[in-house]
Amino acid sequence: MKWQFVADVHGANKKLKAAVDPNLPLALLGDNLNLVDFKTLSGIATRVLSKTDIAKILLNLGKGGPQKALEFANKIFFHQPEKIAKAKIEIAKDYRILAESLPANCHVLHGNVDWPELLSDAMGDRYIEAGVKEVNGIKIGFVSGTGAYPYSMNLPGETSDEEYRKRLFSIGCVDVLCTHFPAQLNGLSWDVVAKRDEGGGQMITDYIEEYQPKLHLFGHIHNPKMAESTIGQTKLKNVGGFRYHGKVYQIDLEDI
């Protein structure tokens, strides 16, 4: 029973359509939206803000940390209703394009850069905030979003650690856990290109220690120092970074 798993598409919809097998189930594990590409400054943000303003946000993030970046972003975007409305139009448009490129049998999570309400509108019942699908006796758990992490910009796809923990533990015991957020383990949440810890969740580690799923699949870290690890009997595997690496992971769930 092969499934396809991928995370961090970040707007690479044509590349995704070309890479997936339309005959196999697909799970998108969050960060479907390209708000801004740090290398090229392309993305939805450039349709709403100037490249100069975007560059200032990123400069503040790099030098002053997330608080400084958020203060500037609030001033030029988050506290500007007209710009928020324009951004939502552009986001909805991109989600519709993504939805049209997906196979029929698809399950979609939101990540930290996603806008859950707009993603849900575009995907319908393919979108899952938190839930379980049972296929051939195998329980697959899906949990969207992230808890707190060091470089948070308070985007709609993020939530508090407490809320994320409730969402995670609400699914109960599963065989395969699919999240956007990684567990908080040394190396697993470290990005070797960004040269920083992008953050993971202690609550995910706690969940795995309690329920011991056979497999945990996640994204969020595009260039991980450590792409795989284990906690007890659980194998942890990063399936993220699709926009940059173009890899779709095919896994036979009956072999886990």
Each residue of 53-70: pLDDT tens digit?
A: 777 777 766 666 777 777
**Higher pLDDT among residues 17 and 61, named by residue:** 17
Q: What percent of the chain has pLDDT over 90?
A: 72
- Residue 226: per-residue pLDDT: 95
Whether residue 107 contacts residue 27, with contact meaning beta carbons closer than 8 Å, is answered with yes
- The rounded mean pLDDT for the chain is 92
Does residue 194 carry a pLDDT above 70? Answer: yes
Does residue 33 carry a pLDDT above 80? Answer: yes
pLDDT classification of 34: cutoffs 50, 70, 90: very high
pLDDT classification of 166: cutoffs 50, 70, 90: very high
- Residue 64: per-residue pLDDT: 66
C-beta neighbour count of 192 within 10 angstroms: 13
Q: Which long-range contacts (CB under 8 A, 24 or more apart) does 71-80 make?
A: 73/153, 76/49, 77/48, 77/49, 78/154
- Residue 38: per-residue pLDDT: 72
pTM of the model: 0.93
Q: How far apart are CA 178 and CA 132, in angstroms?
A: 10
pLDDT classification of 237: cutoffs 50, 70, 90: very high
Q: Which of 70-79, 162-171, 179-188, 223-232 has the lowest mean pLDDT?
A: 70-79
Does residue 43 carry a pLDDT above 70? Answer: yes
Average pLDDT over residues 69-77: 74
- Residue 5: per-residue pLDDT: 98
Domain residue ranges of the chain, discontinuous segments joined by +: 2-33+102-255
Does residue 14 carry a pLDDT above 90? Answer: yes
Average pLDDT over residues 102-115: 96
Please tell me the CATH code under which domain 2-33+102-255 is placed. 3.60.21.10
Q: Which residues contact 132 (CB under 8 A, 6 or more apart)?
A: 139, 140, 141, 142, 171, 172, 174
